[in-house]
Amino acid sequence: MKFIVSSTQLLRQLQTLSGVLNSSNTLPILDHILFELSPKELRVTATDLETTISAVLHVESTVEGRLAVPARLLLDTLKTFPEQPLTFSQADNNTLEISSDQGKYALAYADAAEFPQAVEVTDASSIQVEGDLLATAINSTIFASGNDDLRPVMSGVFFQLSSTGLTFVATDAHKLVKYARTDVVAPETAEFIMPKKPLNLLKSVLLGSESAVQIEYNESNVQFSFDETVMVCRLIDGKYPNYEAVIPKENPNVMSINRVQFLNTVKRVSIFSNKTTHQIRLRIAGAELHISAEDIDYSNKAEERLSCSYQGDDMQIGFNARFLTEMLNNLSSEEIQLELSLPNRAGIITPADGLEEGEQITMLVMPVMLNQ
């Protein structure tokens, strides 16, 4: 095996791939990146057995070869180089030699035959989505997914594809986010649950990208292909809860307020809340919103007043400030609407502006019981 490649180009691809690697593996081969060389092309692959990601680089080469290189050692080395061509060549005693302008470096490689083979997504349905649209959908929902190992279906994002549009949902039973697009449709109805780790990888790579992403899926796996990169991951097995049933349909009390002012006030007042419950109280009457918090154990309390636009009955409701903050942080609109029905029913937050044509975001936050 021998090839010449740009140091920054190789580093950029390997940094994307390294997101799939675990910090500790039971199988030593999983700490490696697979190099598959063919004339003029190098395919690099990393896997954690659940998710496999590979990318193709254009290199100077006339030969073929396969071997597995220790990921951490190679990445740490590449990070120190300025942009330059590097020559990789297979040397004696099972080492891969890197030649740079500064010197030579030898890494012990592993046998490529040990590297796990990627799953092939057969009998697949497919859909094409713009990269940035997919990244926005992930970004808008993933923060609301849970971390409960006992309920794995809620630890991912639920994809619903249909002829009327695409819907992405995440919930941890305290908060729920539904992101929908009616401007992209699927050829047939399908639904599956994507795990968090590959979604975070996609989000970081695709944000701002205009590339088309080909999504192919079957009952157990999904494959994303874009820009000479392919990611295959195993889906979360199980049935997603009926999220539509928990979204209150009748919400006669509607408040409109500036998002940034509301967010800053919630952050400030919540500093004085109980450190276990993070409970804040919202009292809405007329065109005024009072936000207060109290930590009885330490005699700390705070209250702020904001002007808002409100239609409905005077109301008091309690929320966990951390959930509210997360939701308001993940919106980009200037104004938001908070729709309420009763103090013991979920509140619904929607952006009042800033959405693209065909884009909808609905956020639901469960209330907490107030001590009167």
**Overall size of the chain counted in residues:** 372
Percent of the chain with pLDDT over 70: 100
Contact 318, 371 (CB under 8 A): no
Give 3-state DSSP helix, strand, coil % of the chain, rounded to 5: 25, 45, 35
Taken in order 259, 265, 268, 271, the sign of the CA dihedral is negative
Averaged over 177-192, what is the pLDDT?
96
Reported as a single tens digit per residue, the pLDDT across 100-119 is 999 999 999 999 999 999 89
Domains in the chain: ranges and CATH: 2-114 (3.10.150.10), 125-244 (3.10.150.10), 247-368 (3.10.150.10)
How far apart are the C-alpha atoms of 270 and 336, rounded to whole Å?
Answer: 20
Tokens, residue 285 = 């009457």
- Read off the pLDDT band of 215 (50, 70, 90): very high
Q: How far is CA 40 from the centre of its chain?
A: 34
The per-residue DSSP string of 188-237 comes to S-EEEEEEHHHHHHHHHHHTT---EEEEEE-SSEEEEEETTEEEEEEPBP
CA 213 vs CA 101, 114, 130, 219: distances in Å = 38, 30, 6, 20
- Read off the pLDDT band of 223 (50, 70, 90): very high
- Read off the pLDDT band of 372 (50, 70, 90): low
What's the pLDDT at 15?
A: 96
How far apart are the C-alpha atoms of 272 and 163, rounded to whole Å?
Answer: 48
Reported as a single tens digit per residue, the pLDDT across 267-322 is 999 999 999 999 999 999 999 999 999 999 999 999 999 999 999 999 999 999 99
Radius of gyration of the chain (CA): 25
Averaged over 67-79, what is the pLDDT?
97
Averaged over 37-56, what is the pLDDT?
97
CA 125 vs CA 187, 224, 330: distances in Å = 9, 12, 31
- Read off the pLDDT band of 370 (50, 70, 90): confident
Contact 54, 44 (CB under 8 A): yes
Residue 69 clears pLDDT 90, i.e. is over it: yes
- Read off the pLDDT band of 122 (50, 70, 90): very high
How far apart are the C-alpha atoms of 228 and 225, rounded to whole Å?
Answer: 7
What's the pLDDT at 190?
A: 96
What's the pLDDT at 149?
A: 86
Contact 153, 240 (CB under 8 A): yes
How far apart are the C-alpha atoms of 317 and 330, rounded to whole Å?
Answer: 22
Average pLDDT score, the chain: 96
How far apart are the C-alpha atoms of 299 and 237, rounded to whole Å?
Answer: 48
What's the pLDDT at 93?
A: 87
Residue 371 clears pLDDT 80, i.e. is over it: no
Whole-model pTM?
Answer: 0.93
Reported as a single tens digit per residue, the pLDDT across 230-277 is 999 999 999 999 999 999 999 999 999 999 999 999 999 999 999 999
Between helix 259-270 and helix 321-329 the angle, nearest 10°, is: 150
How far apart are the C-alpha atoms of 288 and 305, rounded to whole Å?
Answer: 7
Residue type at 123 in one-letter notation? D
Percent of the chain with pLDDT over 90: 96
Contact 212, 128 (CB under 8 A): yes
